[in-house]
Amino acid sequence: MSATSAIIDVGTIDFAVYEDSTEFIGIANSVLPDKSQKVITLTGAGIGGDVEVPIRGAYNAMEMSLAFRAYTPRIASLREQRVHIIEIRVAQQNEDRIAGQVVTEGVKHVFKVLPKSTSGGTVAPASPSDTTITFAVRYWATFFDGKLIEEWDPLNRIDVINGIDYDEPVRRALGK
């Protein structure tokens, strides 16, 4: 049995959200982006139907959201029309079945985002407002215990997954 197959992914212990490397207080929930590549559909002679081909380094627009229990001036600052650097730092619990140990792993997502929309939430006695801000994602990098695992930067044609930059040949072909 390999070492990776002995690990059971349990889930998130806790997380914290930072803006510009300063902890941001008041976060209740975060929804990370869906990463979906653009595709071209091949059809024609010799092809039995339609075949989708994901295009290297080309992704559909991404968005993420942050939900808050209450609306505050600090939350309003996230609506400023500028690029925000948001970090979501996660303590993730796993279990090593062979060693019989519970393992904590650090996962960090770094985003460059622009505010896109705000849901004011609900105002009711003795309840959270659930104000939600949705952002357009311009950059996304993910680190596991400090090691870069994925980096997506469409404005600079960077698409790194597990150490391989799939857009490097594209940049080279374009003379960049």
Query: What is the full per-residue pLDDT of the chain (176 aa) written as tens digits?
Result: 444 568 888 889 999 999 988 888 767 789 999 999 999 999 988 888 899 999 988 999 999 999 998 888 888 899 999 999 999 999 999 898 888 899 899 999 999 999 999 998 888 898 888 899 999 999 999 999 999 999 999 999 999 999 999 999 999 999 98
Please name the residues in contact with 100: beta carbons below 8 A apart, sequence gap of 6 or more. Answer: none
Q: 115 lies in a domain? A: yes
Q: 47 lies in a domain? A: no
Q: 82 lies in a domain? A: yes
Q: State the pLDDT at residue 1.
A: 43
Q: 31 lies in a domain? A: yes
Q: 45 lies in a domain? A: no
Q: State the pLDDT at residue 5.
A: 67
Q: 80 lies in a domain? A: yes
Please name the residues in contact with 24: beta carbons below 8 A apart, sequence gap of 6 or more. Answer: 16, 17, 18, 74, 86
Q: What angle do CA 128, 129, 131 make, to 5 degrees?
A: 130
Of 124, 148, 150, 121, nearest in space to 133 by CA: 121
Using DSSP, state whether 56 is helix, strand or coil: strand
Q: Residue 48 has what DSSP assignment?
A: S
Write the CATH number for 122.
2.30.110
Domain count, the chain: 1
Residue 30 sits in which domain range? Answer: 4-35+62-173
- b (16+ CB within 10 A) / e for 129-159: bbbbbbbebbbbbbbeeeeeebbbbbeebbb
